[in-house]
Amino acid sequence: MPADDEMTIPERRKYLRLLQPHYLQASRAERGKMLDEMVKVTHLHRKSLTRLIRQGLSRRSQRRQRGPTYGRQVDHALRIIAESVDYVCAERLKPNLAWLAQHLASHGELELTPDLLGQLARMSLSTLRRRLRRLSQDQPRLPRKRPQPANRSLRDIPIRRIPWDEPQPGHFEVDLVHHCGPSASGQYVHTLQMVDVATGWSERAAILGRSYLAVQDAFERILARLPFPVLEVHPDNGSEFFNDHLRRFWQDHYRGTQLSRSRPFQRNDNRFVEQKNHTLVRAYFGDDRFDTVAQTNLLNQLYSQMWLYYNYFQPVLRLQHKIPQPSSGPVLRIKRIFDPAQTPFDRLRGTGVLPEDVQVQLERLRTGTNPRQLRLDIYRLIDRLLRLPRAKPDSTHDVYATLFAHPFQRKATAPR
């Protein structure tokens, strides 16, 4: 039979239905001959033919295909919500979809109906992951590694590692991100970053140079807006953190704060702040060089906006359990279980460390903030920052013009 004249499925069934009673009454030898003929006519395998004849030739009723569960309104809402929180992963976004939708609707960014809110609330994690896949962010570049010189002031500072399951807020990992570009010569801007292990609360401040006065001013800038006390400061072994001036600063003004340090050349001891160096600093500015007063001040203005955006609207995951898995090899496999994603502010509020008046004030701040507009403001400031000119060779800059706690106390310039 030519290929163009092959039987359709209904024609095959009709043909087999006519031969079925003769096949069932025939002898073994006759059945073999009949099967040979049926193979030539239908082009089916012998086993398929015997199964059809013995089990029945009736066809199953065609199932009606299910229509789409979530329509364009859900896609539009997810696009606005994902954009507002800077396209976080589905695991972080899923537990916060409902309240974020209501919050954006209160600011006029989203038209929310009860049906749409119900669909967002019951959407599964896998469905959300598939719909957000096309909105995923580009992979940023890795942070730059810098050397760690020896320091005599480290002798009295204990070496420890803040536990990953630390329940009490106030234990901060600290690190310094360099914005020197391809050359580390001269004075340039650094970002001092602090990350609370228990809640994921993050703070950043920009400084021009690494003098003790600039680093101390960055700490004072952060501590002035931090809504809860600092119990521990845990940086690496850099001399910008451990010197006589800064040790005296902590002892005189913050006696309840414990100083500790990580092991030399062990970046995993500060794993939380190292990860945030990647996602909250390098992802935005890359390896560009910043080395002027104007860039430093604009960067601090930008960090004031990012402080509100990431601590109040960016859900973060926190490790809950580590479960060893059976493995045939020498390497132990660990399965990590994370809790539902929450914003650092929600985690901080759940610990009960905030005084009632401070908590009410911070809740009003979040309620009155439009995260989508805030994100647009952040990216506009980034564009302004990247357009600012770099310092000219042999120029001088007034470092005191960048300070927060001691503006213009005296005239001092930093030679380049």
Whether residues 109 and 156 fall in one domain: no
Asked, for residue 410, whether it belongs to a domain, the answer is no
Read off the tokens for 152. 């005599």
CA distance 72 to 222: 43
Number of other residues whose CB lies within 10 A of the CB of residue 188: 23
Read off the tokens for 55. 């089990």
Whether residues 205 and 329 fall in one domain: yes
Whether residues 372 and 225 fall in one domain: yes
Whether residues 273 and 366 fall in one domain: yes
Asked, for residue 123, whether it belongs to a domain, the answer is yes
Asked, for residue 19, whether it belongs to a domain, the answer is yes
Whether residues 396 and 344 fall in one domain: yes
What is the largest distance, in Å, between two alpha-carbon atoms of the chain? Answer: 113
The domain boundary, picked from 135, 168, 190, lies at 135
Closest by CA position to 214, among listed 259, 183, 249: 249
Number of structural domains found in the chain: 3
Asked, for residue 206, whether it belongs to a domain, the answer is yes
Whether residues 130 and 160 fall in one domain: no
Number of other residues whose CB lies within 10 A of the CB of residue 222: 21
Asked, for residue 231, whether it belongs to a domain, the answer is yes
Cβ-Cβ contacts under 8 Å for 338 (sequence gap 6 or more): 91, 317, 318, 319, 320
Instruction: Let me know: does 299 contact 154? Beta carbons within 8 Å.
Output: no
Asked, for residue 144, whether it belongs to a domain, the answer is no
Domain that includes residue 88, residue range: 72-135
Asked, for residue 380, whether it belongs to a domain, the answer is yes
Read off the tokens for 374. 């805030």
Whether residues 27 and 99 fall in one domain: no
Whether residues 46 and 125 fall in one domain: no
Instruction: Let me know: does 173 contact 162? Beta carbons within 8 Å.
Output: yes
Taken in order 46, 49, 55, 61, the sign of the CA dihedral is positive
The domain boundary, picked from 135, 160, 186, lies at 135
Output the DSSP codes for 237-256.
S-TTTSSHHHHHHHHHH-TT
Whether residues 88 and 166 fall in one domain: no
- The CATH number linked to 192 is 3.30.420.10
Taken in order 190, 242, 260, 304, the sign of the CA dihedral is negative
Q: Which residues on neighbouring strands pair with residue 338, listed in sequence order?
A: 319
Closest by CA position to 96, among listed 344, 329, 299: 344
The pTM of the full predicted model, rounded to 2 decimals, is 0.72
Asked, for residue 370, whether it belongs to a domain, the answer is yes
Whether residues 44 and 101 fall in one domain: no
Whether residues 193 and 318 fall in one domain: yes
Output the DSSP codes for 336-350.
EEEPPPB-HHHHHHH
CA distance 11 to 9: 5
Whether residues 362 and 246 fall in one domain: yes
Give me the tens of pLDDT residue by residue for the chain, a chain 416 residues long. Answer: 555 577 888 888 888 888 888 888 899 889 899 999 999 998 889 998 898 888 877 777 767 777 778 888 888 899 899 888 888 889 999 999 999 999 999 999 999 999 999 999 999 999 999 888 865 543 343 344 444 445 666 777 888 899 988 999 999 999 999 999 888 888 899 999 999 999 999 999 999 999 999 999 999 999 999 999 999 999 988 888 988 888 889 988 888 899 999 888 887 888 899 999 999 999 999 899 999 999 999 999 999 999 999 999 999 998 888 888 887 777 788 888 999 999 999 999 999 999 999 999 999 999 999 999 999 999 999 999 999 999 888 888 888 888 886 544 433 333 33
Closest by CA position to 167, among listed 46, 391, 339: 339
- Cα dist from 403 to 10, 33, 206, 223, 332, whole Å: 85, 98, 10, 14, 49
The domain boundary, picked from 135, 167, 188, lies at 135
